[in-house]
Amino acid sequence: MPLPLATLAPVLARTALRYGTVALAVYALTSLREPARRDQRAEDAMDDIDEGLRLRHEPGQTNGTARWRRTIRVGSNGPGVEVDATALGRLRLRRV
Residue pLDDT, tens place only, 74-95: 888 889 999 999 999 988 888 8
Asked whether residue 57 falls in the same domain as residue 23, the answer is no
pLDDT value for 70: 93
How far CA 96 is from CA of 14, 44, 61, 63, 92, in Å, comes to 53, 34, 15, 21, 12
Residue 4 predicted with pLDDT over 80:
no
Domain that holds residue 5: 1-33
If one counts the domains in the chain, the total is 2
Q: How far apart are CA 65 and CA 83, in angstroms?
A: 17
Q: Considering the entire predicted model, what is its pTM?
A: 0.55
Out of 52-56, 57-61, 68-72, which region has the weakest mean confidence (pLDDT)? 57-61
Same domain, 72 and 45: yes
Inter-residue contact 64 to 35 (CB < 8 Å)? no
Question: Is there a single domain that holds both residue 49 and residue 83?
Answer: yes
**pLDDT higher than 80, residue 6:** no
